[in-house]
Structure formats: C-alpha cells, structure tokens
C-alpha cells in the first residue's frame, strides 16, 4: 500500500515497484479537482482509496494482510498556517496508520523531512540521540518531528523506517504548485523570461545565491526507499540525501546548461513570511544510510538536472505531446 500515491515521490515509487514486477498495489490519495490524477496514467495497481476512507477500508482487508505500507501522503507546504490541519494530517493520521501496520505485521516506511532540522545549528545527524534536540522552523517541520519523536519514544525504530527527505526534485511534481522544486520553478522562469531570480542572502558571510541545499534526484530517493522496503533487517530514522551540499547558484547554472542557454541570474528580496524561517544550509549525514547497506552512488546535481530537464520538462512542453517518464 502506498499513500500519497498520485503525488510526487509516491508516483515515482509506484512506477519503480511496477518496474520490479509488483502490481498488487493499493494506492491511497485524494485526487481532488486538479490534474494530479494524470500522474496515475501508466501505473499498474489493484485499487485506489481515499485517505478519509482508508481506516474503514483496512478493517476487512487487514484479515487478508497488507505486506507493507509506504506512507508518503502528507501536507508538504512549508508555509501552511493551519496548525490544527497539519497536526491531524501529518501526525495523528500517520500514527493511526503506523499502529495499524504494526498490529498487522506490515512493514512501515514513512516520509519524514529535513525540515525537522530547523536552522541546522544542531547539525544534520539522524542519530536517535540528536533527534530530541531538534527545533523545526515551521509547523510543517514540527508536524513531521512530532511523529519522529513519538516513534522514538515508543521504541519503534527497530521495526519502522522513517526517511528524512532532503530537497527532492524530478518528474511528476507539476501538481505541487509553489511547492515544486527549485529546478522546476527555475525551468519555468527561464523558459518564460530568459532569466532566473534567486533570493538574496540576509546572513553575514553568505553571499547572494550561496545558500546551500542537499539536492537529491527523485529516482535516487525512491531507490533508497525501496531498499528499505525490500531489506527488512534494517530500520530506523534515516537521512535520505546525497551528503553533498550545493548552492542555489549551482542549481540555476545547471538548469541554464541543461536548456542550452547562457546563465542570466538576478537576486530579489525574500518574502517576509520566509525570513527567519529559511534554511541557509542543509546536508545529509549519510553515515546511517551507508551502515544500513545502501551502497549505490547518487547522481550529481548537474546529472539530475540534465535528466529532469531533457527527459521530462522539455518533452512535456513539446507541442507534439508529453513524454510519460517511468510508465
């Protein structure tokens, strides 16, 4: 079972499971009235269930058994102001689903977030001893942190896997609007105006555009997830990032190169709603990930951006019709 299955990482996860011959899947998502349903095209699965109906649906299904639950469904907006909504959607629902999975002997892999690390002053270690000290900068990060803390306090990380996703980018994030990756938004800006706007820096010692992020291509993130889905002897709260921090200038330059255009970057004021809640540096500590047996190398930022732009974004915008990557 995959929740958030029509979403960004969810869609790519289902496609990877299909590539591995797994089609007996139950997908969980709200399709709403936008075009997110299009992400389901080309996927193979058994049923599609709304989140609001899931717990009732699971009652009889639990008798037959669900082998594994991949819980990716959440509100991922870092600017969402409805704290009660985030509490219910990102914490309480996750807790109910985890309790169900454990009671039914199902593998439970869920999405945490690098937003739990706050401003990064405490580092980016995913060791259990570091988790309780973290101070997220926004309610989204806090809602994710709440579940991490509950799972830690309850002693569940010997059976449950939480993946702290860093800045994931890649195909099938179109529906996310303003929460799309910096790569997607940069491509749109450059295609429309020929230039790219990046936020100015408001921190001494950090030049404009030199804010750093750990950018990870979505297929790499999915490969990490599937590793823990298939390799069940290792669990825990684990970073899902490359371990390499790159600048927003690096990202912008890579997008221009992938589009075969000269770089044209300017710097603009950061919205006041983000000032004070902005991460100036993120970089995953990948020690636990490697100790858990994940050995594959990650794409570089340039490799991931080139693949995303040339294999998906450009063909998607081609008047001859989109290319369905991963179908």
The catalytic residues are 140, 176
User: Residue 271 contacts by C-beta under 8 Å, 6 or more apart in sequence?
Assistant: none
Nearest to 94 by CA among 226, 3, 230: 3
Tokens of 93: 């629902």
| Assigned token pair, 101 | 């999975």
Q: Alpha-carbon distance 215 to 282, whole Å?
A: 9
Q: What are the start-end ranges of the H helices in the chain? A: 8-19, 51-64, 83-86, 93-103, 128-131, 139-153, 182-193, 218-230, 248-258, 287-291, 301-308, 314-317
Judge contact between 73 and 94, C-beta under 8 A.
no
Tokens of 125: 């270690």
Rounded to whole angstroms, how far apart are CA atoms 27 and 246? Answer: 34
Closest CA to 68 of 232, 223, 218, 238: 232
Partners of 47 in beta bridges:
26
Sign of the C-alpha dihedral computed for residues 7, 9, 15 and 17 taken in this order: negative
Contact 19, 43 (CB under 8 A): no
Nearest to 100 by CA among 77, 71, 80, 132: 71
How many other β-carbons are positioned within 10 Å of the β-carbon of residue 191? 15
């Amino acid at each position: 079972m995959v929740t958030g299955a029509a979403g960004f990482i969810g869609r790519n996860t289902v496609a990877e499971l299909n590539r591995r011959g797994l089609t007996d899947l139950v997908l969980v998502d709200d399709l709403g009235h936008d075009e997110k349903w299009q992400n389901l095209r080309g996927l193979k699965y058994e049923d599609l269930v709304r989140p609001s109906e899931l717990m009732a649906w699971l009652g009889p299904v639990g008798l037959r058994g669900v082998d594994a639950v991949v819980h990716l469904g959440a509100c991922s907006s870092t600017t969402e102001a409805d704290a009660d909504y985030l509490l219910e959607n990102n914490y309480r629902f996750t807790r109910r689903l985890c309790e169900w999975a454990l009671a039914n002997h199902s593998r439970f892999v869920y999405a945490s977030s690098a937003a739990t690390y706050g401003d990064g002053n405490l580092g980016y270690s995913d060791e259990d001893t570091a988790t309780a000290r973290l101070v997220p900068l926004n309610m989204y990060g806090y809602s994710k942190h709440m579940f991490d803390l509950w799972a830690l306090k309850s002693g569940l990380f010997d059976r449950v896997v939480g993946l702290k996703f860093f800045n994931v980018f890649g195909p099938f994030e179109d529906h996310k609007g303003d929460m799309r990756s910096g790569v997607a938004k940069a491509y749109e800006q450059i295609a429309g105006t020929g230039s790219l706007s990046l936020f100015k820096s408001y921190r001494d010692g950090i030049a404009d555009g030199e804010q750093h992020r750990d950018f990870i291509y979505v297929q790499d993130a999915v490969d990490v997830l599937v590793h823990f889905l298939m390799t069940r002897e290792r669990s825990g709260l684990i970073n899902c990032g490359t371990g390499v921090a790159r600048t927003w200038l690096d990202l912008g330059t890579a997008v221009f190169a992938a589009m075969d255009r000269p770089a044209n970057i300017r710097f603009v004021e950061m919205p006041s709603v983000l000032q004070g809640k902005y991460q100036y540096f993120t970089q995953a500590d990948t020690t636990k990930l490697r100790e858990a047996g994940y050995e594959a190398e990650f794409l570089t930022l340039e490799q991931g951006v080139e693949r995303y732009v040339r294999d998906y974004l450009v063909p998607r915008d081609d008047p001859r019709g989109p290319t369905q990557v991963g179908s």
